[in-house]
Amino acid sequence: MSTLSSFPTILSDLQTTKYLNVAGLAIWIFDYVLSFESEIRLVWGRKWDATRILFSLARYLTLVGVIMTVYAAVQTRTGNCAPFGDVSNVFHILSIIVAEGLLIMRTYAFWQRSKRLMIWLLGFAVISLVAAMVLSRLIQGPAEKPNLGGCVFVSSKTGAAIQYSFLINYECVLLGLTMYKFVKHYRRNKSALVTALYWGSIKYMSCMIIVTLANIVVSVALPIGYRNALDTLQLVLHSILASRILFDLRETDAREHIDVLPIASSIYFSKEGGSSESSTFADSQESMSPESTMF
């Protein structure tokens, strides 16, 4: 009887979850309208390198994932829910991965394109992804999904928390690596460009960590009907913030007509066979075209 009496509350919570997921789609559309001009100016017409491919996937693959998530939230369906749910989860995971890929490329640049660091970051990413998928399936909490006569937009409490925990751990590693380079280079060069370049990345990554942490709290602490309330927002903000990092870097290149500090001195101007750390910041003041940057 207590379970039956809770159905109206669950339905009300699920309705709120629908509104929040639709709001996430609206945020994506609003940001897309605002940033479309920047995409045309700063991305279109450039070669299809790894960064542009990751950007395009983070931008448009996310839209597919968001639409599928919103559809699952607002549409009452009957029958076998598993196939659609599995496909939606794949798009959700891929959208997060490509957004993280842009952050990895950014961190790779800050660390003077260190191949050793790139290998470590990719290896750590694979380990984290596999561990999150395996543990979320092995460690299952009690069955909580209510029987409301159709496909219910509710995920596993334990599984969601585990997956987001691995994600936030990886994002904290990227943030820590960026902050380390910022502190190290800021001591040597306190130019406004250095500060803006690093601080922008730190700010955006911090926002990603906050929304991931919020998803963990929602999964663990709130009633079952709110379990997926931030699903769309998670995808949208990762896509938006990762894209903004790319836009900011290329805006800086276009405005200043120089490569980024202190990345340029170590990537483009260091002597062959010499240490990248030995390059001077004066080198990075040399004029370069925007196309010469790795982004």
Can you give the pTM of this predicted structure?
0.77
202 contact partners, CB below 8 Å, separation of at least 6 = 175, 178, 179, 182
**The domain 2-292: what is its CATH number?**
1.20.1070
Place of tokens 């906050």: 210
**Spans of all domains in the chain:** 2-292
Note the pLDDT tens digit of each residue in 56-71: 999 999 999 888 888 8
Q: Tens digit of pLDDT for each residue in 256-287?
A: 544 444 444 443 333 344 444 433 333 444 33
- Is 143 strand, coil or helix? coil
Rounded to whole angstroms, the Cα distance separating 56 from 131 reads 27
Give which of 69, 44, 39 is closest to 230, Cα–Cα: 69
Between 166 and 75, the more confident residue is: 166
pLDDT at 147: 53
Is the pLDDT reported for residue 173 higher than 90?
yes
Q: Token pair for residue 108?
A: 């790779």
**Mean pLDDT, the chain, integer:** 77
- Residue with token string 């994506």: 28
